[in-house]
Structure 1
Amino acid sequence: MHQNQTPERCGKAPRIRPAADFVEREDGFYLYLDMPGVSREALSVHVEDDELSIQGRSNHGLCNGERVHAMEFGDVEYHAQFALTDNMDTRHIGAQLANGVLSIYIPRREAQEPRRIRIEVI
């Protein structure tokens, strides 16, 4: 708890990794991240190469000149990255934000069936 918080401290929010659960089920992979206070507009989820990146920022609106006497929540920048594997279908990832929890679904990529290659005689 921070006593007698002054507006100077409000400029830079601490950067933390959100608590996360990563669960594999028969139909795919589920990632749950605890991100209280983050709105959809302040959230970014993207895939680049084989990496899933999540960024978000909570904004409680303190720092408007008021004198804060105790602060246990405050603004926070959330950052997390997860390596993706070949059996994950990165084209069909879905995400939902509800009650401060970001839920991400990553479907399982359909297995490539072995096939015989036809050889042409020329």
Structure 2
Amino acid sequence: MMRFDPFREIEELTQRLDRTFGQASAAPTRFAPPVDVHEDEQGLELTLDLPGVTPEALQIEAENQTLTVQATRAYERKEGRTAHRVERAHGTLARTFSVPPKYDLTKVEAELNHGTLTLRVPRSEAAQKRTVTVRTGKVLEQDTGASA
């Protein structure tokens, strides 16, 4: 026995209308991929899910304390096939992050591995933790070797 789901029928109707009026092949939509943001002593690490995106389709820009990730994933529509369900996101994927000045956007590192993009943003030199040596104001007398 199947549970009644009133939204399932609405979803199926919406998909049928999209297929009928060609929305699956219309202009690409824009969506934000999910992201995890972590911070440690070295800096920030941002991890985005970008399945099916190639490095060539990826654009990463860093400017004015803003980090932008943009990619395009095309919808592959083949002739002679009918799409019954199109749920995977396609079109333009974009996320923009405001990065505090304590991070150095000139040294961002990016790695794409199995559909996961990892961005590492190090702390700026000025924001690095430093140990400060304490000096005393006392001047040490030198021993001249002469006795009085």
State the TM-score bracket (shorter-chain normalisation).
0.7 to 0.9
1:71 paired residue number: 86
Counterparts of 1:54 and 1:12 in 2: how far apart (Å)? 20
Label 1:110 to 1:98 Cα distance change in 2 as closer, same or farther (>3 A): same
Deviation of the 1:68 alpha carbon: 1.5
- Determine which structure has more spread, i.e. the larger CA radius of gyration: 2
CA-based RMSD of the aligned residues comes to 2.5
Q: List aligned pairs for 1:50-89, cutoff 5 A.
A: 50-62=65-77, 64=79, 66-89=81-104
Q: Which has the higher strand share?
A: 1
Amino acid in the other structure paired with 1:5: R
Counterparts of 1:38 and 1:101 in 2: how far apart (Å)? 9
Q: List aligned pairs for 1:22-41, cutoff 5 A.
A: 22-41=37-56
1:94 and 2:109 aligned: yes
Runs of 4+ residues deviating >4 angstroms: none
Q: Which has the higher helix share?
A: 2
Counterparts of 1:111 and 1:74 in 2: how far apart (Å)? 41
Q: Is this contact kept in 2: 1:7–1:63, CA < 8 A?
A: no
What are structure 2's unaligned runs of at least 5 residues?
1-11, 133-148
Deviation of the 1:63 alpha carbon: 5.5
1:45 paired residue number: 60
Label 1:107 to 1:65 Cα distance change in 2 as closer, same or farther (>3 A): farther
What are structure 1's unaligned runs of at least 5 residues?
115-122
Deviation of the 1:62 alpha carbon: 2.0
The two structures have a TM-score, normalised by structure 1, of: 0.79
Deviation of the 1:20 alpha carbon: 0.7
Label 1:62 to 1:82 Cα distance change in 2 as closer, same or farther (>3 A): same
Q: Is this contact kept in 1: 2:62–2:106, CA < 8 A?
A: no
